[in-house]
Amino acid sequence: MVLLEVPQMNEEDKLHYFMEGLQIWAQNELHR
């Protein structure tokens, strides 16, 4: 899993996008 570093993003935004990406990844794993 790759997290893109975006300089203008604050930590909360990073966490939010990370959690969303994790959910999408988890759903894809479950539906295999």
* pLDDT at residue 23, rounded to an integer: 94
Distance CA 21, CA 1 (A): 9
For residue 21, what are the contacts with CB-CB under 8 A and spacing of at least 6? 1, 3
Those residues whose C-beta lies under 8 Å from the C-beta of residue 3, and which sit 6 or more positions away, are 14, 17, 18, 21
Q: What is the pLDDT of residues 1-32, one digit of tens each?
A: 566 666 677 888 888 988 999 999 999 998 88
Q: What is the pTM of this model?
A: 0.50
Per-residue pLDDT at 24: 93
CA pair distance 21, 7, nearest whole angstrom? 19
